[in-house]
Structure 1
């Protein structure tokens, strides 16, 4: 059974977005379960998109503008890491997510998604490389979404490792090509599952099907910018942007059709019906929002700092500048809390210290750290 959240559209007008925290400033936030402290770790990042934690206390951060940097333990930024491929930076496209290989301590390999240029436009691609000091070496493109297309929108781009070491890659419908989300012969509006060498996973449902791409895992998606593996079931949970309303959370299973654009709880921008809200054989969302919160970034909280948040799902909101906390009972959302941060939240990660780290999507983007107030 799916649930939804409806909020008054007028509330968006009441939000005042800050320009960001200062380095010596900490903000106290009251929430349902605890009093929180929000502090800035680092700033000076141009639209940061993805974040990964390294064992030496550093972080690896991507900037949509096409740069990857280290963030040192004191919050200072390194110079851009060299060795990135050509990246088309336009609209929502650029350098996107970054994750560490499950055996990173042995091989120093990272994977990152980006907007890859080509003869007929661009598309989401994923590369693997060895992180050696301040440079990337042994770079190999392991996935390139097809077809290339002239569009500045809906790249998806989140990367999540499955429990067996396969890599899930989330993709968007590229805006003008939304009907492609209902086919199996393009990557538009899909989740794909590949090995770390880029080969279709043996678990994929269309390995032997004619006129279907073998790396496709699920379809009928609009634009997935949040994905996380459930810590107990190891199932892939995703959220995706609706149009005007209808942002969704789904458990993303093999061969399932999540309906876009045949079914949606959203409408055309400026108004107008798109499709139905349900149809037999198409998956209903686990949870949805009307109006849209513009979700980006997602993690299951499993740390010790926020004991009352354990097994909760944390989602960033670009539109309302909030961290959305969802309490779960199995595959149901039973409670939702909106925690006002005041900046566009692009990514949400749990750190090794149990704190919640947030990336803010702005020209002077920040890394924020959320902890319980002592």
Structure 2
């Protein structure tokens, strides 16, 4: 735990040094001052011309990595994007393609960059995880680490966020794949789960179901529909996740080992077409299944989640920033005693559908929007 936290601090320090040395990105001030309840913020565009970007990652020299779902991985430097060659082969269709990108907490010593993507072809795909090292504009030493264990007709609900934990392991979220929601209750199927892995893709010995033949050993929690935002609090260690529901039923959850989060047996959501009870649901709540901490109403379609920490936005300390696709906004959530006590809308309909929200190692908030002509943005204090 101490090693990962120390590496994170060093990563932030090296980034700040690089920026101070003049490697600041080309920037366009979209809004010089936006009032919020407790912070005055500035919205800056760092690069445009992105096509359906899915995630942003941070290199210690101040450069960015951005995935474009249909096209692959790009390096962003001084307002320009350059395609990174050598990525794993991926199949881009509907919601699938190149998805998350995260830099290893000990990147400066090992150089690993982690990617999730949809692997397969028109007959079927799975969410997969790989890593490689960046040399110039190419990934080298690429290793396939993990893939979900059930190929499904390509289309939707890949989940596919990566979170490194403070113990050095990582989590990967996997959606229920959409076609057969009850698979999220099948404990031998990775669909509809959060899996926990060592950084080399092996299974940690202390995963909750290791040694139980009724469960896939990678599973940390199950009964999820489609988690596309996940973050760990740097002080409490709590793991927060945002999850797509059907019509309604978008959730904020605390992710705990071995827990069943109910989908689709228990859900607050409704059927898309009729608004009746979801066809596979037995109830809104069921004993032995975890209820969400918070339901996003009206629908948020949550994607991308950040936890604000540090002195850049002191008045937002400990708040969650949940990106929303459908309402085109970020929702700031104030948490007390594991309960949402207040919410504020940010950037509503200013930049379109919010796909990813992350706090960078420099303390700023970074956003990508999901459009055919999209951009990477930064939120800065306007003071």
**Alignment partner of 1:36: what SS?**
strand
Aligned to 1:49: 54
1:33 Cα offset (Å) = 0.8
- Detail structure 1 runs of 4+ shifted over 6 Å in the superposition: none
1:167 Cα offset (Å) = 1.0
Distance 1:236 1:66 in 2: 30
Q: Please point out which of 305, 320, 328 is paired with 1:321.
A: 328
Distance 2:260 2:340 in 1: 21
Which shifted more, 278-287 or 112-121?
A: 112-121
Q: Please point out which of 263, 267, 278 is paired with 1:264.
A: 267
Distance 1:110 1:174 in 2: 25
- Output the aligned Cα RMSD: 1.4
1:110-259 aligned within 5 A: 110-117=113-120, 120-259=123-262
Aligned to 2:17: none
Distance 2:305 2:31 in 1: 23
Distance 1:159 1:352 in 2: 16
**Alignment partner of 1:77: what SS?**
strand
Q: Please point out which of 291, 297, 300 is paired with 1:293.
A: 300
Distance 1:120 1:166 in 2: 32
Distance 1:46 1:27 in 2: 25
Which shifted more, 171-180 or 29-38?
A: 29-38
1:52 Cα offset (Å) = 1.1
8 A contact 1:177–1:188 mirrored in 2:
no
Aligned to 2:22: none
1:29 Cα offset (Å) = 2.2
Distance 1:193 1:138 in 2: 23
Distance 2:378 2:121 in 1: 38
**Alignment partner of 1:308: what SS?**
helix
**Alignment partner of 1:105: what SS?**
helix
1:169 Cα offset (Å) = 0.4
Instruction: Say if 2:272 is the partner of 1:283.
Output: no
Which shifted more, 102-111 or 219-228?
A: 102-111
Q: How many residue pairs align between the two structures?
A: 351
**Alignment partner of 2:200: what SS?**
coil
8 A contact 1:109–1:129 mirrored in 2:
yes
8 A contact 2:266–2:284 mirrored in 1:
yes
Aligned to 1:76: 80
Distance 1:91 1:115 in 2: 11
8 A contact 1:244–1:291 mirrored in 2:
no
1:264 Cα offset (Å) = 1.1
1:139 Cα offset (Å) = 0.9
Distance 1:138 1:92 in 2: 27
Distance 1:251 1:366 in 2: 30
8 A contact 1:112–1:126 mirrored in 2:
yes
Aligned to 1:369: 378
Distance 1:315 1:231 in 2: 17
1:73-122 Cα deviation digits (max 9, x unpaired): x22212x1110121110111110001111211011111110001169510
8 A contact 1:66–1:87 mirrored in 2:
no
1:37 Cα offset (Å) = 1.5
**Alignment partner of 1:96: what SS?**
strand
Q: Which segments of 5 or more consecutive residues in structure 1 lack a partner in the other structure?
A: 1-21
1:57-85 Cα deviation digits (max 9, x unpaired): 1111111013211111x22212x111012
Aligned to 2:310: 303
Q: Which segments of 5 or more consecutive residues in structure 2 lack a partner in the other structure?
A: 1-26
Aligned to 1:354: 363
Distance 1:242 1:117 in 2: 26
**Alignment partner of 2:235: what SS?**
coil
1:191 Cα offset (Å) = 0.4
8 A contact 1:266–1:290 mirrored in 2:
no
